[in-house]
Chain A
Amino acid sequence: GAVVSQHPSRVICKSGTSVKIECRSLDFQATTMFWYRQFPKQSLMLMATSNEGSKATYEQGVEKDKFLINHASLTLSTLTVTSAHPEDSSFYICSALSGGGDLSYNEQFFGPGTRLTVL
């Protein structure tokens, strides 16, 4: 399957600082990427849909000014957590959409995740 990478894999920061997380599709182009958040023992929760060259679409309840998303190229999307607070500590996972080709659906490949801890 296609490979999606995330950087960094884990980050610890002080409250009030901003943290940038990168998501890259390594061997395919992705016009659409998704950002998820996962709390312990819970499933993934979609935060936003990132579209190359246009503004991201945020899910209800997700603050767009706090979670800045930039999808500047077909292989890179970034999520910046601004003015991070301890409640933002979570596991952030991105995914990239690969065109279905002969398939009737688009496959979604997930990154390995980024563990954010805000002190």
Chain B
Amino acid sequence: KNQVEQSPQSLIILEGKNCTLQCNYTVSPFSNLRWYKQDTGRGPVSLTIMTFSENTKSNGRYTATLDADTKQSSLHITASQLSDSASYICVVSGNTDKLIFGTGTRLQVFP
């Protein structure tokens, strides 16, 4: 069964600290893996998209990694800001345009 699991479910950090979110997937065949940021009451916004041949991609303070062999990905946030408080969703695409969503990690950044 195609599944995407994320950990932790929620995370609280202090402003300025770094954090890493994890994603494991069992989707096959695999096309690409995406990380989205979703603010409360808003639609998801794409942070990174990686195909199987890419093992790291950065977008500002966000750096995603992908290990297609172990089917794991991580999202590292550097020097967190209050505006980083949101849900971060790992999404995997197979051989169709349908996306398989993880349950998300809810990040709260406190001053």
Chain A interface (Cβ < 8 Å from any Cβ of B): 1, 4, 6, 32, 34, 41-46, 49, 91, 93, 95, 97, 104-113, 115
Chain B interface (Cβ < 8 Å from any Cβ of A): 31-32, 36, 41-46, 49, 51, 89, 93, 97-99, 101-104, 106
- Determine if A105 and B51 form an interchain contact, defined as CB atoms under 8 angstroms apart: yes
Interface centre among B44, B89, B98, B101 (most CB of A within 10 A): B44
Contacts of A46 in B (CB 8 A): 98-99
Partner of B42, one of A34, A41, A42, A113: A113
- Determine if A32 and B97 form an interchain contact, defined as CB atoms under 8 angstroms apart: yes
Partner of B41, one of A4, A105, A108, A113: A113
Contacts of B45 in A (CB 8 A): 110
A57 (CB) vs chain B CBs: closest residue: B98
Distance A60 CA – B49 CA, assembled complex (angstroms): 28
- Determine if A112 and B97 form an interchain contact, defined as CB atoms under 8 angstroms apart: no
- Determine if B101 and A112 form an interchain contact, defined as CB atoms under 8 angstroms apart: no
- Determine if A43 and B97 form an interchain contact, defined as CB atoms under 8 angstroms apart: no
Least CB distance from A59 to B in Å reads 9
Contacts of A34 in B (CB 8 A): 98
- Determine if A106 and B97 form an interchain contact, defined as CB atoms under 8 angstroms apart: yes
- Determine if A115 and B41 form an interchain contact, defined as CB atoms under 8 angstroms apart: yes
- Determine if A44 and B97 form an interchain contact, defined as CB atoms under 8 angstroms apart: no
Contacts of A104 in B (CB 8 A): 31-32, 51
Distance A47 CA – B106 CA, assembled complex (angstroms): 23
Partner of B44, one of A6, A45, A107, A110: A110
- Determine if B102 and A107 form an interchain contact, defined as CB atoms under 8 angstroms apart: no
